[in-house]
Amino acid sequence: MPQTPVPGPVTATSDPQDLIVVANRLPIEAVGEGPDMTWQRSPGGLVSALEPALQGARATWIGWSGHLSGSGEATPGLPEELDGLGIGEVPLTELDVHDYYEGLANGAIWPLYHDAVATPIYHRHEFERYVDVNRRFADVGAQSAPPNGVVWVHDYQLQLVPRLLREQRPDMRIGFFLHIPFPPVELFAQLPWRRQILEGLLGADLVGFQTVTSAQNFLSAVRRLLALRPGGDRVEVPETHGYRTVRVGSFPIGIDAKSFEALAMTPAVQARAREIRRELGDYPLIFLGVDRLDYTKGIDIRMRAFGEAVRDGILDADQVTMLQLAIPSRENVEEYRRIRDDVELVVGRVNGDLGRVGDPAIHYLRQAVSREELVAMYVAADALLVTPLRDGMNLVVKEYVACRTDNTGAVVLSEFTGAAQQLHDAFLVNPYDLDQLKRTLGAVATATPEELSERMEGLRTNVFEHDVDRWARSFLATLSGALT
Ligand code: ADQ
């Protein structure tokens, strides 16, 4: 446990503008090459989620630039500040990325936390590097934060950072949010470094999860593996002198629903949506899938169900088509190369069996597209298929709903997403049950416009009420109150 005194209550002198965000990646991207290269804020993602909280004088973001450092030197030309946001770089070498990010974070933690749907690989040298990199993030955080500053640490790559920060800076208020699920203790107990991870997280004043289930799983792990006795949403953590209270809660993340809606209504996006429908063959029923190409997303399962539903006559081949957009992801990790092969095998089989010249049954694109093109696809599609085997939340489903400005469209949603805890008006499915999935595709095809619009209305109310602004505000407000 930290060798530092237990901090007293945070006083009113803490400035809410002194927010330090610590996340694996900096929210910036390089534009241009060579001497002309400059940096700009990258659109979307966590940075837009935190925009309202970041607006203020002294917000700093700590993370990796994406540039591989030869031996720990800073990224050439990286600014110390961009559009009012302070930038604190943690340089990473190729070996760091290989062992900490691709290895421990994405080869061990990611699959374990997603119900071990792929086998987690535990390498001791990768954990050593994970500790080392987490320490470097914590060091930059400790150096950047003003007295009594608020620091918000994000996600599974940085679970040791809260405790490492507290050891150096007990004056700070520390929040941690996990974007992916926290698994049941029976699974978590596999992790050779389970104790270090739990103690790392308990360095925070507030530990936030996407769902109540994840928060409960964490509390059970604390009880079983650390022999502490959480009471309600609080854990009393023993310190050198007395105890320190850690709050645990669920904070389901949302999207900037209004900006998706506004983009969906622009004439350019509407025109592009009509064009996409034409390009897909003017079928009356267009199914859409949009995912990072990840084995947790159940992409192959939904395409198999679609193919079988057409083959079995549950869906009419003359009436339906499918568009699957997959963004390439983590291609240096073995399991990700495998899921690509699996997905492409299913696409090939379904199109081989059911396609016609110039008219495949599944249109498959493995590429990232612009926000405008993505929104045009959401507007063009009659139904969205979201079938992960496990997903912390899933933002794609919320984006689709926000874009259905005329209350049309349908959502087929896996029970195993965080989103399913909120979006009860979706057609909920167990993605492991192929027959149920096929029947649900049939139910979507035969639903009346009235049923669909009633469901969509319910979905939209939820997505607009629980937007990203509310998520960030409620986490930060709870963190502010966490020590009082
Ligand atoms: P992800 O696993 O990345 O996020 P998700 O929440 O669906 O999953 O977000 C994916 C994002 O990528 C969406 O904003 C989507 O629009 C975008 N995207 C996907 N395919 C794209 C493509 N081909 N082109 C362009 N954009 C594309 C993790 C967790 C989730 C959790 C989020 C946020 O795994 O469970 O919801 O963090 O906390």
45 CA distance to ligand 1 middle (Å)? 8
Residue 83 pLDDT: 86
Give the model's confidence band at 2: pLDDT under 50 very low, under 70 low, under 90 confident, else very high: very low
Atom of ligand 1 nearest to the CA of 419: 36
**Which pLDDT belongs to residue 13?**
36
Rounded average pLDDT over 415-432 = 98
Q: Indicate left, alpha or beta for 330 from its phi (over 0: left) and psi (-120 to 50: alpha).
A: left
pLDDT (0 to 100) of residue 41: 86
Does ligand 1 have an atom closer than 6 angstroms to the CB of 467? no
Closest-lying ligand 1 atom to the alpha carbon of residue 418: 35
Hunting for tokens 């990840």 — which residue is that? Answer: 294
- Of 24, 104, 102, 94, the closest CA to residue 64 belongs to 24
Identical fold at 12-253+468-480 and 257-465? yes
pLDDT at residue number 484: 42
Give nearest CA residue, ligand 1 atom 33.
179
Query: Is pLDDT of 272 > 80?
Result: yes
> Does the beta carbon of 434 sit less than 6 angstroms from any atom of ligand 1?
no
> Ligand 1 center to residue 292 CA distance, Å?
6
What are the tokens at 456? 């969509």
The answer to whether residue 8 scores a pLDDT higher than 80 is no
pLDDT digits (tens, 9 = 90+) for 95-107: 999 999 999 999 9
How far, in Å, is the centroid of ligand 1 from the Cα of 133? 25
Between 241 and 427, the higher pLDDT residue: 427
Residue 37 CB–ligand 1 contact under 6 Å = no
- Indicate which residue's Cα is closest to atom 15 of ligand 1: 396
Q: Is 290 in the pocket of ligand 1 (CB under 6 A)?
A: yes
pLDDT at 35: 78
Cα 447 to ligand 1 centroid, rounded to whole Å: 28
**pLDDT grade, residue 130 (50/70/90)?**
very high
Question: Ligand 1: which residue has its CA nearest to atom 20?
Answer: 291
The pLDDT of residue 36 is 81
pLDDT digits (tens, 9 = 90+) for 201-239: 999 999 999 999 999 999 999 999 999 999 999 999 999
| C-beta of 288 in contact with ligand 1 (< 6 A) | no
pTM score: 0.95
Predicted pLDDT of residue 145: 86
Which tens digits make up the pLDDT trace of 175-207?
A: 999 999 999 999 999 999 999 999 999 999 999
* pLDDT at 482 (0 to 100): 57
Q: What is the token pair recorded at 472?
A: 């960030």
CATH architecture designation of domain 12-253+468-480: 3-Layer(aba) Sandwich (3.40)
Dump pLDDT digits (tens) for 53-65: 777 658 899 999 9
User: In the predicted model, what is the mean pLDDT of the chain?
Assistant: 93
Q: Determine which of 68-72, 120-124, 219-223, 290-294 has the lowest per-residue pLDDT on average.
A: 68-72
pLDDT in tens, 299-308: 999 999 999 9
Domain extent listing, the chain: 12-253+468-480, 257-465
Give mean pLDDT, residues 406-410: 98
Check residue 17 and give its pLDDT: 55
At residue 483 the predicted structure's pLDDT band, cuts being 50, 70 and 90, is very low
> 394 in ligand 1 pocket by Cβ < 6 Å?
yes
At residue 18 the predicted structure's pLDDT band, cuts being 50, 70 and 90, is confident
Q: What is the mean pLDDT of residues 39-44?
A: 81
Right CATH for 257-465 from 3.30.70.2860, 3.40.50.150, 3.40.50.2000, 3.10.105.10: 3.40.50.2000
Q: Verify whether ligand 1 is closer than 6 Å to residue 49 (CB atom).
A: no
Given a contact cutoff of 8 angstroms between Cβ atoms, the answer to whether 427 and 382 are in contact is: no
- Ligand 1, from 396, 398, 414, 471: best to mutate by most atoms within 8 Å of Cβ? 396
Instruction: Specify the ligand 1 atom closest to the Cα of 210.
Output: 38
Query: How much is the average pLDDT of 318-345?
Result: 94
Residue 30: band (very low, low, confident or very high) from pLDDT cuts 50, 70, 90 = confident
Question: Tens of pLDDT along 255-271?
Answer: 999 999 999 999 999 99
What atom in ligand 1 is closest to the CA of residue 325?
A: 23
Residue 16 banded pLDDT, cuts 50, 70, 90 = very low
Distance 48 CA to ligand 1 centre (A): 14
What is the Å distance from ligand 1's center to 291 Cα? 6
Q: Is 395 in the pocket of ligand 1 (CB under 6 A)?
A: yes
